[in-house]
Structure 1
């Protein structure tokens, strides 16, 4: 079972969000189940030099798309037991940052064409190409159109994973026509056209053989107008090919017993965990106390994450006996919100602007509660990491948050966190106060933490679900081979 992961980012090479964590960790779990999964991604300037020492150049070739004929280098190397391929073109990828440039359409159309051509030089024939988000959405489209009869891709099938439907890769229709060389017949509402623009994501949604997304609840939500971002009718049409598989985390990477960023290693000991809380309080300038409940937030500061709810009740929340530590960057209004709170409540609130992996891990380890009141959340990895570090999540019941956080029931003792259903600020505040009350009852709190500790947050079960998707496609592929044998 040869699987080629096409992605715009993957740890440990380049990361802006959860996509990189998934693309880096899932192949390892699939390989352990017997697949041969390899990753292809751009060679960004951001990739650390010490990582590039593991790579060697194996091919140089030209990529033709539109009227362009661009150089492409193909490098390969192994990291953490997974083989990576890097698409090298300095004009497109030797820049600071991964996205956000005016020519992103051209950059990632080039990447899609380069992946199609690079297979000729890999000594690896993919049975399945697994594409992730809009940056690779045109690969299933190319596989079904321009490369439909190319021997390098004979009988290959495609899977397209939606990590966040909100980001669709929308560009001018004339631009995508010119870049892809596709005719007008491909830019209709049932193909790449989307409200007068061209959608790279629709290349995956329409043309991939199977669609997946990152939680079962999100798979249902995106088939409704509220969550569907204008694509709900298409997703309902393809519901038979759409499956939700919840993400996991790399439990070796996120292990509070073996995490160099922590002050005190621990597994399930709350007393040892609270030593990390006091060290975090000291580092962030808060009042030091093992008993005061500390709420952690590690997030992009954007509306999707529910920060308008927090803004509405932040002063009320900080009247409680509680502390808050926030790490993130994003919309200026939310950055100002937490900066102002830290100034007005210097002993209770602290804000770290930007991102630091070290500080994120210290917040997971030092917090008692972890807040994620998201408006929508395809899966979310932060709540899984929080549970791994024995921090109790407080979430809204949406997407992967609903699938992974079970509300605590004080009558049965079941549940690993606290949740609320309606997108309402005071419902969030009420839920947070309920969690704070539980924290003050030591035995009850210990039970909630232990409930969270018993769950499996690894990629093991999710990888098996992906293997089932691949297996079905390989059955279809075998039938195609029998009907249309290869002529050599």
Structure 2
């Protein structure tokens, strides 16, 4: 079975978030299940030179985009055993950042057309086109409405995966109509129309053969008005074709036993983990104390991630004997709030604005607790990485957090972390204090860490479910 992933980012080529981790790791797990996977990406200027210099051009085509006829190079490179095809057009993709430009609609409409124009230049057509998030949402629409008469194209099946429904690729109807060179019949409520505008996410939801999202609970949540981002009605209509498949992590990449970024490698030794805490305290200028509980956060600094709850709870949290280490960047108001907190509590808080992969790994390894009070979380990878590094998660019961963190039960000794339901600062504070109480009880704490160590959040189980989905489609 041949599967082609179409996505806007993938590790180890380019990354802004969890999408890149998934698109980078899942193909390797699928290959171990006997699936032949190719990943197609834009050729961004941010791709590391060692990879960009190794590419081979296999075809040069032109892509019609509205009135424009644009150059498109098709380039190939193999990284970590995965075949990548890169869509080359420097005007659209050789820029300083992956996203955030005024012509996003044009850039990713070009990408979607280029993927489909490219297919019949390859040796074999894919059986499945697996599209990820709004940047590729137009592919199922175009395949169904524009490319079905090309030889072999009618047999291609499509899967569209929702990684985060909040980001939808909504543009004016007039702009997309011009870019797609399509008539009014494509902009009805049963097609691309979205409250007077047009939605690339809705195109994927309407026209893909199957839908998937990244956890079972999120698949249920997005069918409700609270989490459905005004698309819950469309998703409910397609609920029989919607699969909730939990993300995993690459357990070879995220392995405290071999991670080169750590001060000291370890597996289950809490003493060695404590040595990593002391080393991070030295690195960040915090008081060195192996007994003080360290709470780590590696995250985008947005309201979605629950930082408004953290801000409200912070004055009371700072009365506890803790250290709080935060790495990330995001909304200016949240960054300002954290700077003010740092100024008042330099002995308890350490901040790093931006992203640093090595430092992120050291935060996972050094922290005793990992805080994720997200208002919504499609899957979340950080709690899985935390468990892998023997760090106990504190999470809100939503999306993939609910599916992956089992609340600790002191009566029967089960559970891998601490959870709370209502999105309130009161519940967050109560749960953190409960976790701190158990941290001070060595027998309980060792049991919680050991429970988490038994969990396997690699990709194998999820890859088998994707294979089942693919087989159902092909048959």
Which range, TM-score by smaller chain? over 0.9
The question of whether the paired residues in 2 share the 8 Å contact of 1:326 and 1:338 is answered with: no
Q: Give the structure 2 partner of residue 302 of structure 1.
A: 302
Alignment of 1:23-422 (within 5 A): 23-422=23-422
Runs of 5+ consecutive residues of structure 1 not aligned to the other structure? 476-488
Aligned length: 475
The question of whether the paired residues in 1 share the 8 Å contact of 2:192 and 2:199 is answered with: yes
| Structure 2 CA distance for aligned equivalents of residues 341 and 388 of structure 1 | 30
TM-score, structure 2 length as denominator? 0.99
The question of whether the paired residues in 1 share the 8 Å contact of 2:268 and 2:390 is answered with: yes
SS at match of 1:151: coil
Q: Give the structure 2 partner of residue 484 of structure 1.
A: none
| Structure 1 CA distance for aligned equivalents of residues 51 and 394 of structure 2 | 37
Deviation at 1:125, TM superposition (A): 1.1
| Structure 2 CA distance for aligned equivalents of residues 236 and 143 of structure 1 | 23
| Structure 1 CA distance for aligned equivalents of residues 289 and 463 of structure 2 | 41
Deviation at 1:389, TM superposition (A): 0.5
The question of whether the paired residues in 1 share the 8 Å contact of 2:51 and 2:77 is answered with: no
Deviation at 1:25, TM superposition (A): 0.3
- Runs ≥4 in structure 1, deviation > 3 angstroms? none
| Structure 2 CA distance for aligned equivalents of residues 315 and 424 of structure 1 | 15
Deviation at 1:42, TM superposition (A): 0.2
The question of whether the paired residues in 2 share the 8 Å contact of 1:44 and 1:98 is answered with: yes
| Structure 2 CA distance for aligned equivalents of residues 3 and 156 of structure 1 | 10
| Structure 1 CA distance for aligned equivalents of residues 105 and 387 of structure 2 | 38
Runs of 5+ consecutive residues of structure 2 not aligned to the other structure? none
Deviation at 1:182, TM superposition (A): 1.5
The question of whether the paired residues in 1 share the 8 Å contact of 2:6 and 2:136 is answered with: yes
Deviation at 1:292, TM superposition (A): 0.3
Deviation at 1:152, TM superposition (A): 4.8
| Structure 1 CA distance for aligned equivalents of residues 215 and 382 of structure 2 | 14
| Structure 1 CA distance for aligned equivalents of residues 117 and 184 of structure 2 | 24
| Structure 2 CA distance for aligned equivalents of residues 428 and 155 of structure 1 | 50
Deviations 1:362-403 (A, max 9, x none): 100000000000000000000000000011000000000000
SS at match of 1:147: coil
The question of whether the paired residues in 2 share the 8 Å contact of 1:126 and 1:153 is answered with: no
Q: Give the structure 2 partner of residue 444 of structure 1.
A: 444
| Structure 1 CA distance for aligned equivalents of residues 79 and 32 of structure 2 | 15
RMSD (CA atoms): 0.7
TM-score, structure 1 length as denominator? 0.97
Deviation at 1:121, TM superposition (A): 2.1
Q: Give the structure 2 partner of residue 483 of structure 1.
A: none
Q: Give the structure 2 partner of residue 21 of structure 1.
A: 21
Higher alpha-carbon deviation: 28-37 or 337-346:
337-346
| 1:467 maps to 2:451 | no
SS at match of 2:77: strand
